[in-house]
């Protein structure tokens, strides 16, 4: 039962959180909702991929390594992780559709898989796949795998049942002495990310040791003190939920307040003293008895004796459920996307549909996207992911109006005069320029459009 | 049985295809193989992500739109698609682990899901989610979802059982008159991609109408002629496997020959006249009777009458199984990765471990990666995905030797003199420079490393 505390809020509550009209708009252009899981249409997939791309860049900064892990694992693994005991209600079982293809265990019974509801066991397997030294730690793994849970989050409608969602999931394996530093870095990662989204203020809530806990009291107290120091250092307001932690460790929740004052739990940081023990994870360190307590020594005798120590595991998600964060962003931006997230970043419009103008429009698109006929990885001079093209014969005024109402950030207009002079007109008036957007516009405007540069 | 022709060769045969020593090296640094599915370790995930990134850039060029679709669908969908009838042996069933959480259908029986072995039904759902006009076609969807199949590809070992793999899966919905053009574009996409990998020559094999076929004979003949014209135009050698097509349409396989002369089937292009009908897919076109045959008219009476027409569906994968293509690339490059694919692109080595030198090394890394303390999306001046750092106190000669033996493409060395003069030394001698690599080196060498640019 307690393992379910690891669970993040379900993705599909977004359907209820969204107001009717916004939801209908979302449904139309970004996603189609099947009961419990979303199909991302092309524009929705663009936003999803840009969020992933953004996080990947931050992973370079914060020292996370992305891994790609299986979707299904044998039931034996879920027994080892404790999920079968504590989380079975919310899990799906995978079996062969055809009895003749069923795998059998050595004992002869049919073997089954569990569809993963979280990535922690997979990341433990990777940690365990090599011998680790204290010098290797912290080791930080990130994973964007789709996750499946059979959670019932409300009795009103079958649509609120969660089935499939994505999480910007990550696990840090660290030495006890590194807890405070890792929590500080994670809080900084969260501050940076929510600052980029401009989603407004959030508060942090620390959940401490419950009455039913596992592990040493001393470990708990040291870890909670480390978390409190990191929270103080974050400069964010924080509160305590006394006794509300999981049996395996304290946690910090990030609670975002939207413009209506409604609160949303998004990011989570969860310490875990137990899972590393279930998986027999260890690293080799000098003075292991002190190492376990996060203490150091200069005593050469103690330092000469190396031994195994269980790492502390930190589960963390910065966005939480990507689907749910996307729903918050959709509400928040209300169609006025910052350029980097805008699924409709740029469009090229022709003043007429004559051949030279259409050719010039295509050349401009290829130039801006770095598309050349060479056998090569395109090297784009801009950061635009894609550029649409409207070369229809309709009036340019109507085309501009339509492009603006569809939410295009940058509108490039080309006409016969541009063909002669090697120019284009860039209209970026519908942008709410963030710094990065301004940089993009400047880059666009200073690009030389001369035919020599076109292929 | 015939639907299984859609199946691509299993990913896990890679284990057998790989020579022992290469496989052990792969196992160590790129992937861990569980029976039937791979865990991508950090360096393996880097290569995987770069392949996906490369394809995304080509999707902009070739007009594909990426979508993200569910992993599990109700059995009713698999009945509609014909998979339950023809492919059940190879599929996995998903059910609730807890009986109390099982969903029941209206008739009261327990409802089950199928774990998707391919993306086609999901893409059909997206096509069907809107009314489509002939002006909207072709519509091209791409998907990188993990797929699961319970295929037995060899009796020798349980390890050859396929379980989970990724495919650069795509589906084109087009008008009958667009078949030839779409096949030409797809063959061009394949030519470009395999050219970039320099994997050597390949041949194309056309499989034609089998004795047991569905649909109109005339449709088949027209489609096969269109495929033959596209094959001729490709400039690649091609052969015919007479009568070897699936019952639902002809196909083209791409067969790669490795340096040992061994053949590998990678890319596939499969026409499908049946699945659109099973899903009642349609678009609205003028002169629908002619439209169905891929013919046009100027008769105003015929053009005035609009009606529904079933699109032709083209299944296509350029890499095929990404896991298997990665295994081929690992063999092919044998540790000498081109820069853009190299999981170890660059490393910065310090000549000593004094504070100013270590600070300068970190500054250099931040500069090259575009990391600044600002709240912003990093804007990297290079295309390097990540840069490692070795600031240990070991001798620089040893550090350079180790970096080269690990396969780093670019080695940046910084010492006390560099701190004073605002310089770095760039060693790219271990690169086999492709054009794009040279561009990257030039970019690196011309970057101004002056402290003003550092934060
Ligand atoms: Zn976790
Ligand atoms: Zn398909």
ipTM for the predicted complex comes to 0.89
CB atoms B39 and A69 under 8 Å: yes
pLDDT reading at A92 higher than 90: yes
Q: Which of B301-305, B314-318, B385-389 has the lowest mean pLDDT?
A: B385-389
Nearest CA among A194, A228, A233, A227 for reference residue A51: A194
pLDDT at position B323, please? 87
Average pLDDT (B247-252) is 92
Return d(Cα B324, Cα B7) in angstroms, integer.
14
For residue B25, report the distance from its CA to the centre of ligand 1, in Å: 29
Return d(Cα B397, Cα B391) in angstroms, integer.
13
What angle is formed at CA B383 by the lines to CA B381 and CA B387, rounded to 5 degrees? 90
pLDDT at position A262, please? 82
Average pLDDT (B323-335) is 86
DSSP state of B351: S
| Residue B184: both structure tokens together | 């030409």
Give the nearest partner residue to A148 out of B72, B145, B192, using CB atoms.
B72
Average pLDDT (B147-157) is 66
Instruction: Decide the pairing of beta strands B31-34 and A306-309.
Output: unpaired
Res. A170 pLDDT band, cuts 50 70 90: very high
pLDDT reading at A72 higher than 80: yes
pLDDT reading at B35 higher than 50: yes
CB within 8 A of A203, min separation 6: which ones? A236, A237, A238, A239, A254, A255, A257
pLDDT at position B361, please? 92
Average pLDDT over chain A reads 83
pLDDT at position A5, please? 29
CB-side neighbour CA atoms (13 Å) of A405: 6
Q: Which residue has the tokens 């993009």?
A: A440
| B62 close to A (CB below 8 A) | no
Smallest Cα distance from B332 to chain A, Å? 19
pLDDT at position B215, please? 85
Average pLDDT (B211-232) is 91
Average pLDDT (A190-196) is 91
Whole-prediction pTM = 0.90
The helix (run of H) or strand (run of E) holding residue B259 is none
pLDDT reading at B377 higher than 90: no
Res. A124 pLDDT band, cuts 50 70 90: very high
Average pLDDT over chain B reads 83
Nearest CA among A128, A125, A137, A127 for reference residue A291: A137
Largest Cα separation within chain B, whole Å, is: 85
pLDDT reading at B20 higher than 90: no
- List the beta bridge partners of residue A390: A349
CB atoms A98 and B113 under 8 Å: no
pLDDT at position B157, please? 40
Which one is predicted more confidently, B317 or A452? B317
Average pLDDT (A71-87) is 90
Burial class (CB in 10 A: 0-12, 13-18, 19+), B106: exposed
CB within 8 A of A185, min separation 6: which ones? A62
pLDDT at position B413, please? 92
Please tell me which of A209-218, A364-373, B11-20, B301-310 the model is most confident about, judged by mean pLDDT.
Answer: B301-310
CA distances from B205 to A222, A308, A453, B285 (A): 67, 57, 39, 33
Res. B10 pLDDT band, cuts 50 70 90: very low
- φ, ψ for residue A88 (rounded to 5)? -60, -35
Return d(Cα A264, Cα A13) in angstroms, integer.
11
pLDDT at position A381, please? 62
| B163 close to A (CB below 8 A) | yes
Smallest Cα distance from B196 to chain A, Å? 6
Res. A455 pLDDT band, cuts 50 70 90: very low
Helix (H, G, I), strand (E, B) or coil at B9: coil
Average pLDDT (B109-119) is 85
Res. B107 pLDDT band, cuts 50 70 90: low
For residue B372, report the distance from its CA to the centre of ligand 1, in Å: 29
Mutate to test the interface with B, among A32, A44, A60 (most CBs of B within 10 A): A60
| Residue A384: both structure tokens together | 């635009």
The helix (run of H) or strand (run of E) holding residue B98 is none
Which one is predicted more confidently, A90 or B185? B185
Please tell me which of A427-436, B347-356, B366-375 the model is most confident about, judged by mean pLDDT.
Answer: B347-356
pLDDT at position A14, please? 39
Condensed to tens digits (0 to 9), the pLDDT of residues B62-100 reads 999 999 999 999 999 999 999 988 888 889 999 987 777
Share of chain B above pLDDT 90, in %: 52
Which one is predicted more confidently, A109 or B78? B78
pLDDT reading at A247 higher than 60: yes
pLDDT reading at B347 higher than 80: yes
Average pLDDT (A417-442) is 74
Nearest CA among B329, B347, B434 for reference residue B399: B347
| Residue A154: both structure tokens together | 């409300």
Return d(Cα A311, Cα A292) in angstroms, integer.
9
């Amino acid at each position: 039962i307690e393992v379910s505390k690891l669970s993040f809020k379900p993705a599909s509550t977004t359907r209820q959180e969204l107001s009717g009209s916004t939801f209908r708009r979302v449904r139309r252009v970004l996603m189609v909702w099947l009961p419990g899981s979303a199909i991302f249409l092309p524009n929705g997939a663009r936003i999803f991929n840009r969020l992933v791309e953004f996080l990947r860049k931050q992973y370079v900064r914060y020292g996370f390594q992305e891994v790609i892990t299986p979707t299904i694992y044998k039931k034996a693994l879920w027994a080892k992780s404790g999920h079968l005991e504590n989380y079975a209600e919310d899990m799906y079982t995978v079996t062969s559709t055809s009895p003749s293809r069923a795998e059998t265990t050595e004992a002869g019974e049919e073997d089954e898989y569990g569809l993963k509801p979280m990535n922690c066991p997979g990341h433990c397997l990777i940690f365990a796949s090599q011998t680790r030294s204290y010098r290797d730690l912290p080791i930080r793994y990130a994973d964007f795998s789709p996750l499946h849970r059979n959670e019932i989050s409300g009795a009103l409608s079958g649509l609120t049942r969660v089935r499939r969602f994505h999480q910007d999931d990550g696990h840090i394996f660290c030495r006890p002495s590194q807890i405070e530093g890792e929590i500080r870095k994670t809080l900084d990662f969260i501050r940076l990310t929510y600052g980029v989204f401009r989603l407004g203020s959030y508060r942090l809530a620390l959940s401490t040791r419950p009455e039913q806990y596992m592990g040493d009291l001393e470990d708990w107290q040291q870890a909670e003190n480390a978390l409190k120091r990191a929270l103080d250092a974050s400069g964010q307001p924080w509160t305590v939920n006394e006794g509300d932690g999981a049996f395996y460790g304290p946690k910090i929740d990030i609670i975002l307040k939207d413009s209506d004052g409604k609160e949303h739990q998004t990011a989570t940081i969860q310490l875990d003293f137990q899972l590393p023990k279930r998986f027999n994870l260890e690293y080799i360190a000098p003075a292991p008895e002190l190492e376990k307590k996060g203490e150091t020594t200069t005593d050469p005798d103690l330092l000469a004796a190396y031994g195994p120590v269980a790492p502390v595991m930190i589960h963390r998600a910065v966005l939480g459920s990507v689907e749910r964060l996307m729903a918050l962003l959709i509400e928040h931006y209300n169609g006025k996307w910052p350029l980097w997230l805008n699924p409709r970043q740029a469009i090229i419009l022709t003043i007429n549909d004559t051949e030279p103008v259409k050719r010039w429009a295509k050349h401009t698109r290829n130039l801006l996207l770095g598309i050349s006929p060479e056998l090569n990885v395109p090297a784009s001079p801009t950061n635009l992911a894609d550029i649409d093209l409207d070369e229809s014969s309709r009036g340019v005024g109507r085309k501009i109006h339509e492009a603006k109402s569809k939410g295009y950030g940058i509108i490039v207009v080309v006409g016969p005069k541009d063909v002669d002079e090697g120019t284009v007109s860039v209209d970026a008036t519908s942008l709410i320029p963030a710094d990065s957007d301004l940089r993009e516009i400047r880059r666009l405007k200073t690009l030389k459009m001369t035919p020599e540069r076109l292929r």
